[in-house]
Structure 1
Amino acid sequence: MPAALTARADVRTETPERYAKQLVEHLGHRVSFTTEGATSTAEIAGGIGSVEVGEGVLVLRAEAGDQETLDRVQDVLGRHLVRFGRRAELDVVWAPAAAG
């Protein structure tokens, strides 16, 4: 398998648990999430997406073998979170994730 492309978005919010639960439950109607501790992970649109609850931050991660798939994973996670967090004006800004 070629080296995976990865991206990360740190979304600042006072209620990361709430938004993580809402996002995982909503997407869980189409994909199956595995949760370990504060991180939930699923195969999404041909790649891997994860949602991690931090202190004052919700961390979204996307991983895929090619840019098109990475873009789809980012779109699915980001678009739904922005819709849920419209009132709180959540902002999802993706950046390439550091290797390792």
Structure 2
Amino acid sequence: MEDQVTGKSASTAHVTTDHGSRYLQQLCKHFGHKVEATFDPHAGEVKFPFGVCRLEADETGLTMTVQGSSGEEIKRLQDVVDSHLVRFAFREELNIDWQAV
């Protein structure tokens, strides 16, 4: 869904896992080698050239929100974040279901 003020589109996914904070930190550290990433054990933000990913970890898992200027950018962000999360979480089967916000 596109924000009428900013012209940005966004989607979010909540992944149920006992390791949300670990995955948040792994993702931010990994992406931080190439793009700007800030994080602590509970929240993080990664600024890609084609959009932003915000991450929040709590006792239920990891919530990921991506924001970009087009549906194409949103899909690209989802694919990049998904592929890396699945790789880091290879010991468990995650259900990643993105929803427009």
Give the TM-score range, shorter chain: 0.7 to 0.9
The alignment's C-alpha RMSD in Å is 1.8
Choose from 72, 80, 84 the match for 2:76: 72
TM-score scaled by length of structure 1: 0.85
User: What amino acid is aligned across from residue 50 of structure 2 in structure 1?
Assistant: G
TM-score scaled by length of structure 2: 0.85
SS of 1:68's equivalent in the other structure is helix
How many residues matched? 97
Question: How many percent identity over aligned positions?
Answer: 31
CA offsets per residue over residues 24-74 of structure 1, 9 Å max, x none?
A: 111111111123772211212411111111222101110011111111111
Contact kept, 8 Å, 1:14 with 1:56, in 2: the verdict is: yes
- State the partner residue of 1:5: 9
Q: Gapped runs of 5+ residues in structure 2? A: none
Q: Gapped runs of 5+ residues in structure 1? A: none
Aligned CA distance change for structure 1 residues 37 and 80 (closer, same or farther; 3 Å): closer
